[in-house]
Amino acid sequence: MKKIIVPIDFSEYSEYALKVAAKLAKQNNSELLVLHMLEMSDIMLTGAGEEPQKIIYFLKLAEQRFDEFLKKDYLSGIKITPIVKHFKVFSEVNEIAKEHGAELIVMGSHGVSGAKEFFIGSNTERVVRNAEIPVLVVKNDIAKVKFEIVVFACDFEEDTIEAYLKASKMFNSMNSKMYLVNVNLPNDRFKSSDEIEKEVVNFFTKAEANLDKMSDVKYVSDYTVEDGILNAANKCGADLIVVPTHGRKGLAHFFQGSVGEDVANHATLPVMTYKI
């Protein structure tokens, strides 16, 4: 992981993300690309011809605040590249990441508090849906950033294989133990043990060309996929939940309705998304 990109807006949540990114950078000798998108009102932008000095003043003021924000002790010893964009278009974070060769995006999020700030219409949602690289979402001030146990939510469909292999490669390099969690639901989505095992065998045969990882699968029966994933993560003592996504098309069909959003919103653990 040579480069990590961190969008910040000066909130406590973006600082949570910056702290996590800094710890990951130190562990992997990575460079941090710290991105700030300035919020310039339409009135100010359209009035640039009349008051250009006023525009320049506010831009310089925002850039100065950005510089001050980066004067943190926990960033000491890390190569920092500040990036300032003069428009707040979070869907473009992926383009910035591609331009600079970043391999991970780390973002802060409020989580849920009556409304679904994480995905519904949020900046994080825009980044997740457009990102071609993994997005790590942080909602708390995490003291220890060492993903020793990782839970990968998996429906064992073939279109999940690529995301699984990318996640497996990343966490193997971090010496993490990754479990694949499959949630079996009642009623019309219920599957027998034989049906599930056939899907898992087919998945590993195509993904790994062997069945060595069969023992890393956790089968969970629950009333919702969300509850199953969160309960499995708790029982495993997981440090991180990984969720595959279809990017602009939304979350994988495994997460029907708002299940994926609910997992990301309600989990106290960090959540990482991988594009399918």
Q: Where are the beta strands (DSSP E) in the chain?
A: 3-8, 31-37, 80-85, 104-108, 135-138, 149-153, 177-184, 217-221, 240-245, 271-275
Segment among 4-13, 33-42, 102-111, 219-228 with least mean pLDDT:
33-42
For 2, the token pair is: 């040579």
User: What domains can you pick out in the chain, each with its CATH number?
Assistant: 3-138 (3.40.50.620), 149-275 (3.40.50.620)
Determine what percent of the chain is predicted with pLDDT higher than 90. 48
DSSP for 12-38, please give it. Answer: HHHHHHHHHHHHHHHHHTPEEEEEEE-
Encoded amino acid at 40, one letter: M
Global pTM value: 0.85
Helix (H, G, I), strand (E, B) or coil at 78: coil
Express each pLDDT in 146-158 by its tens digit.
899 999 999 898 9
What is d(CA 190, CA 221) in angstroms, rounded to the nearest whole number? Answer: 9
Q: What is the mean pLDDT of residues 90-98?
A: 85
Mean pLDDT in residue range 86-104: 84
